[in-house]
Structure 1
Amino acid sequence: MRVSAKTDYALRALIELAIRPGGSPVSAEEIGRLQEIPHGFLQAILADLRRAGVVLSQRGQSGGWRLAGEASGVTVADVIRAVDGPLVSVHGERPESVTYNESASALQHVWIAARSSLREVCEAVSIQDLADGRLPSRVEVRTHDEDAWQPH
């Protein structure tokens, strides 16, 4: 899996929103400054998140961006889908839509299994988990495997 800058920035921006007391709005400028995210890029990301119903914008002197709902109700997978599309795609298509000839047909099963594995992690971790600096135990345990930290 390749994590795009867009997804990384979106998650970091949402963590900033989640840690605000009382869900108070935060300006894009403040989010960008705190997380070192280029302003133009952040505005586009926030627009994607607004279209997906993850954030709301509030105009005016005390305006800014805030979460549309509870941080515990938004997963890493939701954010990836909002800013980058499906968790796994093959040539821009969902794995179940890809067809291969008989000799390569097992590839489709690899892509389906990869998506399932990503879902196990990305759908289990919420923005609130990230804001709290903790992961669900079934995800945390995966980080205890020494091999998980090794580049291959």
Structure 2
Amino acid sequence: MQISAKADYAVRALVELAADSARPLTCEGIASAQDIPFRFLKSVFRDLRQAGLVRSQRGCEGGYWIGRDPAAISVAEVMTAVDGEFLTLRGARPDTLAYPGAARRLPDLWRAVEAAAQSVLGRTTIAELAAEGAAGTEGAEDMASQRTGPGSSVRDVSPAVPA
């Protein structure tokens, strides 16, 4: 599974905005703080603004603000805002796939992978990431186990694939 640079940068930018919501932040400032290419970040902000996830203010006091309560913005929503469909396989949604013969169950696996990723990323909010980033890395293992449960992995989802 590959997460696009655009999705990664979008999530990082929103976390940066959520962590410092007292004032608008400039695109240059966010790019510098997160080590993101400035030109690329500008196009990411265009998509985020269209999705209502950020708002902008022009002028010398201008910059970007988070567009909604960061506790109501999931990582999955951000990824969809900048990349379109959450998960595709060769451009097709997993729920539209059908393979013949011995591979006929493979689309079930792709759907299970999508459901697992959607579950984790849909429960993870920008506010949580900003709070955990501000608190340091102490809670990183706790955060992962809260989202996936003890001992969980994508492999744990595979038994749900019908026989």
TM-score by length of 2: 0.80
Q: Which amino acid aligns with 1:126?
A: T
Q: Which residue of 2 is the match for residue 3 of structure 1?
A: 3
Q: Which runs of 4+ in 1 moved over 6 A?
A: none
- Structure 1, unpaired ranges of 5+: none
What code does the residue aligned with 1:110 have?
A: L
Judged with a 3 Å threshold, the aligned counterparts in structure 2 of structure 1 residues 21 and 88 are, in CA distance, closer, same or farther, namely closer
Tell me what 2:52 maps to: 53
Residues 147 and 108 of structure 1: CA distance in aligned 2, closer, same or farther (over 3 Å): closer
User: Structure 1 CA distance, aligned partners of 2:43 and 2:64?
Assistant: 13
* Count of matched residue positions in the alignment of Structure 1 and Structure 2: 145
Report the Cα offset of residue 147 of structure 1: 8.4
Contact 1:28 1:43 in 2 (8 A): yes
| Partners of 2:65 and 2:74 in 1: CA distance | 16
Structure 1 pair 63/124, CA: closer, same or farther in 2 (3 Å)? same
Name stretches of at least 5 consecutive residues in structure 2 with no aligned partner.
133-138, 155-163
Residue 43 of structure 1: how far off its partner (Å): 0.2
Partner in structure 1 of residue 159 of structure 2? none
Q: How does 1:1-152 map to 2 (within 5 A)?
A: 1-22=1-22, 24-133=23-132, 135=143, 138-139=146-147, 141=149, 145=151
Instruction: Give the deviation of 1:101 after TM superposition.
Output: 1.8
Question: After the TM superposition, which of the residue ranges 39-48 and 94-103 deviates more from structure 2?
Answer: 94-103
CA gap of 1:84–1:110, structure 2 versus 1, over 3 A, is same
1:94-141 Cα shifts (integer Å, max 9, x gaps): 111122224322111011100110011000100000000063863164
